[in-house]
A and B are shown apart, each in its own frame.
Chain A
Amino acid sequence: DAGITQSPRHKVTETGTPVTLRCHQTENHRYMYWYRQDPGHGLRLIHYSYGVKDTDKGEVSDGYSVSRSKTEDFLLTLESATSSQTSVYFCAISENRDRGHEQYFGPGTRLTVT
């Protein structure tokens, strides 16, 4: 299994508070991604990174920001959490030297905003 960890694994927070989720990899992969998974929707890309300090927006980026100061760490921040951001968040990594450039996922963080 790819070495990807996420922290925290579960979090309950109140509307309006800032929240930061962390993704850590030990594979030295160039690309890192943040997705959210909600019932009735497929995994949707929030933001991704293509190198240290290099990030870009995905399909559902509003209300989220990211940072990558080291190859191994990718942070997702909800500046002011809302109930619509209650979801399961997955980090993924990939490296285009692999045959299919497939993505490997972390264990997920279940976030509840009350």
Chain B
Amino acid sequence: GQNIDQPTEMTATEGAIVQINCTYQTSGFNGLFWYQQHAGEAPTFLSYNVLDGLEEKGRFSSFLSRSKGYSYLLLKELQMKDSASYLCAVRDGLLETGANNLFFGTGTRLTVIP
């Protein structure tokens, strides 16, 4: 089966740096995604990793280690608007039809405090 683990909740201070971890055990691997989801809204795409290493995009960075089944999302210079849930999703592979076969973690609810 597929298993994707993230911490349920985290709290961090405005202006600080926070790291949200994701570990996974899946039958296959073809990429890892991070999404941001504000309460009552749709998930929005943040980052994609398929090779080991760090991908940086502004204040957000995402890291992947395939051998360890591990990823993290790093948020720098936290702002109040970063309070949201962060979803880790692993693509087990592409289906025969070419569609995505994504498995999502339950999400990490981040609260940014002044």
Chain A residues within CB distance 8 Å of chain B: 30-31, 33, 40-45, 48, 50, 54, 56, 90, 94, 96, 99-108
Contact = CB atoms under 8 A, between A and B. Distances in A.
A47 to B, nearest CB: 11
A100 B104 contact: no
A103 B97 contact: no
B106 A48 contact: no
Size band of the interface chain B makes with A: 20 to 34
B43 A107 contact: no
B103 interface: yes
B99 A100 contact: no
B42 A103 contact: no
Nearest to A106: B42
A48 B102 CA distance: 12
A100 B42 contact: no
Contacts of B41: 107-108
A33 B33 CA distance: 16
Nearest to A101: B100
A33 B98 CA distance: 13
Given A42-B105, A100-B48, A56 B42 contact: no
A50 B95 CA distance: 10
